[in-house]
Structure 1
Amino acid sequence: MDSTAALALPDLWDRLTGTQQDPDLWVVLATGVVALAVVVPRPLWRVARNAITIAHEGGHGLMALLTGRQLTGIRLHSDTSGLTVSRGKPYGLGMILTAASGYTAPPLLGLGGAALLSAGRITLLLWVATALLVAMLVMVRNAYGALTVFLTGGTFLLVSWLTGPQVQAAFAYAVVWFLLLGGVRPAFELQAKRVRGAAGDSDADQLARLTSAPAGLWLFLFHAVSLCSLMGGGRWLLDL
Structure 2
Amino acid sequence: MDSLASTSLSSLPDLWDAVFGSQPDPALWVVIATMVAALAVVVPHSVWRISRNAITIAHEGGHGLVALLTGRTLTGIRLHSDTSGLTVSRGKPYGLGMMLTAAAGYTAPPLLGLGGAALLAAGHITALLWLATALLVSMLVMIRNVYGALTVLLTAGTFLAVSWLTGPQVQAAFAYAAVWFLLLGGVRPAFELQAKRSRGGARDSDADQLARLTNVPAGLWLFLFHAVSLCSLMGGGRWLLEM
TM-score by length of 2: 0.96
Question: Runs (4+) of structure 1 moved beyond 6 Å?
Answer: none
Aligned partners of 1:127 and 1:157: how far apart in 2?
A: 7
Aligned partners of 1:83 and 1:47: how far apart in 2?
A: 18
What are the superposed Cα offsets for residues 184-215 of structure 1, whole Å, 9 maximum, x if unpaired?
Answer: 00000000000011110000000000002100
Match of 1:131 in 2: 134
Match of 2:3 in 1: none
Aligned partners of 1:135 and 1:15: how far apart in 2?
A: 23
Instruction: Report SS of the residue matched to 1:20.
Output: coil
Match of 1:169 in 2: 172
Match of 1:116 in 2: 119
Gaps of 5+ in 1: none
What are the superposed Cα offsets for residues 11-42 of structure 1, whole Å, 9 maximum, x if unpaired?
Answer: 11111220000000000000000000110000
Structure 1 counterpart of 2:110, which letter? P
Pair 160,88 (structure 1): closer, same or farther in 2 beyond 3 Å = same
**Which of 65, 87, 112 in structure 2 is aligned with 1:84?**
87
* CA-atom RMSD in angstroms: 1.2
Identity of aligned residues (%): 83
TM-score by length of 1: 0.97
Instruction: Report SS of the residue matched to 2:201.
Output: coil
Number of aligned residue pairs: 237
Match of 1:205 in 2: 208
Aligned partners of 1:178 and 1:205: how far apart in 2?
A: 27
Instruction: Report SS of the residue matched to 2:86.
Output: strand
Match of 1:65 in 2: 68
Cα pair 2:68 2:74 within 8 Å, conserved: yes
Cα pair 2:8 2:14 within 8 Å, conserved: no
Gaps of 5+ in 2: 1-6
